[in-house]
Amino acid sequence: MATKMAPSEAIPWTHLFPEATEQVETHISRVFLAPSEVFKVKKSVDYGFLDFRTLEARQRACRAEVELGRRLAPDAYLGVVALVRDAGGAWRRVPVEALEDDAEVVDVAVHMRRLPDDDRADVRLAQGRLSPSDVDRVAGVLAAFFGRARRTVVYGDPRFVRYNVDENFRQTERTIGDFLSPEDVARLRRYQYGRLMELSPLLAERARCGRAVEGHGDLRLEHVYLDEGGTVRILDCIEFNERFRCGDVASDLAFLSMDLTYRGRYDLAERLLARYAEASADFGIYRLVDFFESYRAHVRAKVETFVRDAPGVDARRRQQAAERARRYYLLACSAGRAGLTAPFVVAVTGPMGIGKTTVARAVADRYGAPVIGTDPTRKQLLGVDPTAPLLDAPHEGAYDPLVTDVVYDEVLARADEVLASGRPVVVDGTFGSAGRRDALVRLAARHGVRMLLVFGRLDPDERARRLRRRTEGPSVSDGRPAIAPALDAAFEPPDELPADVRLDVDMARDPADNAERIVAALGIRPLAPEVP
CATH code, domain with 378: 3.40.50.300
Domain co-membership, 85 together with 139: no
Considering the domain architecture, whether residues 429 and 517 belong to the same structural domain is answered as yes
110 shares its domain with 152: no
Angle between helices 285-309 and 266-280 (to 10 degrees): 130
- Domain assignment of residue 387, yes or no: yes
pLDDT digits (tens, 9 = 90+) for 192-205: 999 999 999 999 99
**Residue 339 counted as domain residue:** no
Residue 224 lies in a domain: yes
**Residue 8 clears pLDDT 70, i.e. is over it:** no
Taking 50 as the threshold, does the pLDDT of residue 5 lie above it?
no
Q: Is the pLDDT of residue 514 over 80?
A: yes
- Per residue in 458-504, pLDDT tens? 998 898 888 888 777 777 777 677 777 877 888 899 999 999 999 99
User: pTM for the whole thing?
Assistant: 0.92
Confidence label for 339 from pLDDT (cuts 50, 70 and 90): low
Is 493 within a domain? Answer: yes
| Cα(419)–Cα(71) distance, integer angstroms | 34
Based on the domain organization, do 104 and 150 belong to the same domain?
Answer: no
Question: Taking all residues of the chain, what is their mean pLDDT, rounded to a whole number?
Answer: 92
CATH number of domain containing 241: 3.90.1200.10
DSSP state, residue 390: -
Q: What average pLDDT does range 379-401 have in this prediction?
A: 79
Final residue belonging to a domain, choices 114, 142, 173: 114
Chain centroid to Cα 39, Å, comes to 28
Residue 528, SS3 per DSSP: coil
Same domain flag for 349 and 323: no
Picking from 334, 369, 404, the residue at the C-terminal end of a domain is 334
Q: Are residues 16 and 44 in the same domain?
A: yes
Q: Show the domain range for 233.
A: 121-334
Burial of 273 (0-12, 13-18, 19+ CB in 10 A): buried
Quick one: pLDDT at residue 395?
65
Instruction: Give residue 4's pLDDT.
Output: 46
Question: Does some domain include residue 365?
Answer: yes
> How many structural domains is the chain composed of?
3
Write down the pLDDT at residue 6.
44
Residues 200 and 271 in one domain: yes
Same domain flag for 77 and 188? no
Note the Cα 140 to chain centre separation in Å. 9
The pLDDT of residue 91: 83
Look at residue 532 and tell me if it is in a domain: no
Domain boundary among the residues 79, 114, 149 is at 114
Together in a domain, 408 and 457 = yes
Q: Is 209 part of a structural domain of the chain? A: yes
Q: Is 121 helix (H, G, I), strand (E, B) or coil?
A: helix
- Chain segment 397-444, per-residue pLDDT in tens: 788 889 999 999 999 999 999 999 999 999 999 999 999 999 999 999
- Same structural domain, 287 and 329: yes
Report yes or no on 527 lying in a domain: no
Which phi and psi (to 5°) does residue 273 adopt? -60, -45
504 and 400 share one domain = yes
Given a cut of 60, whether residue 448 has pLDDT beyond it is yes
Report the C-alpha gap between 91 and 95 in whole angstroms: 14
What are the phi and psi torsion angles at 247 (to 5°)?
155, -170
CA dist., res. 524 & res. 367, Å (int): 9
Domain identity same for 55 and 195: no
Question: Looking at residue 392, what is its pLDDT?
Answer: 66
